[in-house]
Amino acid sequence: MGGVALIVVSLSCFTNYLLSVEPLCEVTCFQLQTIALSLMDEAEAPSPPPFLEVKCQSSGMKRRFARGTEAGFAVSLINKKLGLGDPLAAHIEAFKEGEEPISFGPSSALVDYGNGWRLQTVSQVDSSGIGGGQGVGRPMAMPLPGVMVLDFIYWKI
């Protein structure tokens, strides 16, 4: 049985096409299509960014974190950058329109759930009204003539 030569086109860096000739024996058209499609899928699949973005609902700002960052650490950094009077973030959730949100616990690793899902904070007020937070207090300045008083607000879990 004679050898069959086949020209295989593979994608390199999305723009350069390399042609190579390899001898093959008894390869079906279906097998060739499968190989060609898998090569195209590998070449066209965009690599995800090395970070995740979390939108702070209180400030509207997006913060970037490394994949796998603990959600509690991310919440504490986000809360440190909030202005006076902005509600504190209680936790982070993955949100997609029409889907049930996925909440991240303090020791959960932040992950990307794919197309349409985004990470966002949930403030103490958003989570279930006053008292729905995790007991985090924030000092608030009370304007009195010549006196500054710090008032701490605590929520019972």
Name the CATH topology of 51-151.
Answer: Ubiquitin-like (UB roll) (3.10.20)
The ranges assigned to domains in the chain are 4-44, 51-151
3-state secondary structure 61-102: CEEEEECCCEHHHHHHHHHHCCCCCCCCEEEEEEECCCCCCE
Has this prediction a pTM greater than 0.85? no
Segment 93-144, tens digit of pLDDT: 999 999 999 999 999 999 999 889 999 999 977 655 444 444 444 555 555 5
Segment 26-77, tens digit of pLDDT: 667 667 677 777 766 665 667 777 899 999 999 999 999 999 999 999 999 9
Report the run of H or E that residue 54 belongs to, with start and end: strand 51-55
